[in-house]
């Protein structure tokens, strides 16, 4: 669609000449007086207007034109208004510029000069609107669905604002449940790729023998069961953002292929020979210690530096001051509204329990506890018992570490029992990968049923 240009002049012949000269590049809107101009302006909202100051009923003075200018800028301060005036009105044109007009031209208008000024005006107006839209999007309450008033979270929001406008790979670090995927989505939505796809894959949740095909796709007949050609997640993310969650769980064999893609933005499907160019931004995340993984030879150093051009570190919920209370109230309002229990609030013992709980599962744990509490609550208050926090139970432990370990054991046991030993489902519920859950089961000496194991559990095939 052509950009809209509002042309305001009481001389019909001048309007016709200018429209004929400009209609190839612009959708020209015509008005002959202030009221007509403002009506069109309100309806069509053009970014640029060409305005004659001498409008009826006072064509001999600039008052009508200046009033039209003022009204347009009040309605939309980013509108670019170009003044067209005679040589004798040059002082009035300069006054209009002082009142906010973008530029002025002397009549008779030189078409070449006018076209240059119009191109510049539309370009500047477009840039300003784009910047304004982005700032408004970034500054809406909280930030992209995330809530946090503490200094650490404000720093995270600031980092997202900065990295979103670049196209560099980003590595997000943080414990399970801190909101790493939400940060990745925020980066995508605030970037120039926001109209493209956001494609996420959990590198720790897919068996190694299937992960290569999931990432890179495969050709028909590449392996048993490959009955048709299939695009991988990387190719599907072209034009948008690829989010690689639990990147620390990526097998070494696939780390080489991923590195090759990051270096050249080119992939080959499994069983294929054709090189396929893919234009996507890569955002990755992990809750594991990649420095230790590199030292142990489980993660390639060259891949790390390709992925970690920018690093965003998310704080644990226990490190966020009063944010747990703020977040709990927000989650309660959302869940209560969804359940038709709009009047729900926290009891005093629930607030004390929220303050005292170390939140080893971070935001995801809080969200799950509040969902369950809204269902279980009777009356108008959510209690500590509804949250299954037993009134600040963690106060009975001597140290924060002891409390975290006890609650970690409780959550793992509960997830294993709830899903009857199905590791994948229990891991999804806890927000961790299967290998991480196996490691936790071994550390806590638990079997698949959530009870004490006779011997540490081992992953099948190991």
pLDDT digits (tens, 9 = 90+) for 234-286: 999 999 999 999 999 999 989 999 999 999 899 888 888 888 999 999 999 99
In the numeric block, the tokens 């370009």 are attached to 123
String of DSSP letters for 86-138: -GGGHHHHHHHHHTT--EEEESSPPHHHHHHHHHHHHHHHHHHHHHHHHHHHH
**Beta carbons of 97 and 19 less than 8 angstroms apart:** no
pLDDT tens by residue, 99-116:
899 998 888 888 999 999
**Beta carbons of 171 and 285 less than 8 angstroms apart:** yes
Two structure tokens written together for 25: 């590049």
CATH of 4-135, one of 3.30.750.24, 3.40.50.720, 3.40.50.2300, 3.20.20.140: 3.40.50.2300
What pLDDT is stored for residue 443 in this prediction? 83
Q: Which residues of 47-74 are buried (b: 16+ CB within 10 A; e: fewer)?
A: bbbbbbbbbeeeeeebebbbebbeebee
Choose among 361, 459, 462: nearest CA to 408. Answer: 361
Greater confidence (441 vs 183) lies with: 183
- 3-state class of 383 per DSSP? coil
pLDDT higher than threshold 90 for residue 304: yes
Q: Tell me which CATH homologous superfamily contains domain 151-315.
A: P-loop containing nucleotide triphosphate hydrolases (3.40.50.300)
d(CA 399, CA 364): 23
In the numeric block, the tokens 């990745």 are attached to 184
Q: For residues 182, 187, 192 and 197, what is the CA-based torsion angle, rounded to 10 degrees? A: -40
Q: Give the phi and the psi of residue 242 in degrees, each rounded to 5.
A: -105, 125
pLDDT tens by residue, 36-77:
999 999 999 999 999 998 898 888 888 898 999 999 998 998
| Banded pLDDT at 393 (limits 50, 70, 90) | very low
pLDDT tens by residue, 136-155:
544 444 677 888 888 899 89
String of DSSP letters for 318-351: GGSTTHHHHHHHHHHHHHHHHTT-TT-EE-HHHH
Where do the CATH 3.40.50.300 domains begin and end in the chain?
151-315
What pLDDT is stored for residue 138 in this prediction? 40
d(CA 207, CA 246): 13
Mean pLDDT calculated for residue range 376-405: 70
pTM of the complete model beyond 0.75:
no
Where do the CATH 1.10.8.60 domains begin and end in the chain?
319-444
Q: At what angle do helices 362-376 and 323-338 cross, to 10 degrees?
A: 40
Query: Taking the domain 319-444, which CATH number applies?
Result: 1.10.8.60
């Amino acid at each position: 669609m052509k950009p809209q240009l509002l042309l305001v002049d009481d001389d019909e012949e001048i309007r016709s000449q200018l429209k004929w000269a400009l209609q190839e590049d612009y959708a020209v809107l015509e008005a002959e007086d202030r009221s007509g101009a403002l009506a069109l302006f309100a309806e069509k909202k053009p970014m640029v207007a060409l305005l004659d100051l001498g409008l009826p009923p006072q064509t001999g003075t600039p008052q009508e034109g200046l009033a039209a200018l003022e009204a347009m800028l009040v309605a939309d301060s980013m509108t670019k208004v170009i003044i067209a005036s005679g040589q004798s009105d040059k002082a009035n044109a300069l006054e209009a510029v002082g009142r906010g007009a973008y530029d002025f031209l002397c009549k008779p208008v030189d078409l070449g000069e006018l076209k240059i000024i119009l191109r510049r005006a539309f370009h500047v107006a477009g840039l300003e609107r784009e910047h304004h839209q982005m700032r408004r999007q970034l500054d809406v309450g909280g930030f992209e669905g995330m809530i946090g008033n503490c200094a650490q979270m404000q720093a995270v929001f600031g980092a997202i604002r900065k990295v979103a406008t670049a196209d560099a790979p980003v590595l997000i670090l943080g414990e399970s449940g801190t909101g790493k995927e939400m940060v990745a989505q925020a980066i995508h939505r605030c970037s120039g790729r926001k109209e493209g796809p956001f494609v996420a894959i959990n590198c720790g949740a897919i068996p190694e023998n299937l992960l290569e095909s999931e990432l890179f796709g495969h050709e028909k007949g590449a392996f048993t069961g490959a009955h048709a050609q299939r695009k991988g997640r990387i190719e599907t993310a072209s034009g948008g953002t690829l989010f690689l969650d639990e990147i620390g769980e990526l097998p070494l064999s696939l780390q080489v292929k991923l590195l090759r893609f990051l270096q050249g933005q080119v992939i080959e499907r499994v069983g294929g020979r054709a090189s396929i160019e893919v234009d996507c931004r890569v955002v990755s995340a992990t809750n594991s210690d990649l420095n230790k993984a590199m030292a142990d030879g489980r993660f390639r150093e060259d891949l790390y530096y390709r992925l970690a051009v920018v690093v965003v570190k998310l704080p644990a919920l226990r490190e966020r001051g009063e944010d747990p209370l703020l977040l709990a109230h927000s989650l309660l309002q959302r869940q209560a509204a969804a359940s038709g229990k709009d009047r729900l609030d926290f009891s005093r013992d629930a607030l004390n329990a929220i303050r005292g709980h170390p939140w080893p599962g971070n935001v995801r744990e809080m969200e799950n506890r509040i969902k369950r509490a809204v269902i279980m609550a009777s009356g108008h208050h959510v209690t500590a018992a509804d949250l299954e926090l037993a009134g600040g139970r963690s106060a009975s432990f001597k140290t924060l570490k002891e409390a975290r370990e006890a609650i970690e054991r409780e959550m793992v046991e509960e997830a294993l029992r709830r899903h009857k030993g199905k590791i994948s489902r229990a891991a999804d519920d806890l927000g961790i990968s299967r290998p991480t859950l196996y490691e936790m089961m071994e550390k806590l000496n638990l079997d698949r049923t959530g009870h004490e194991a006779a011997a540490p559990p081992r992953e099948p095939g190991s």
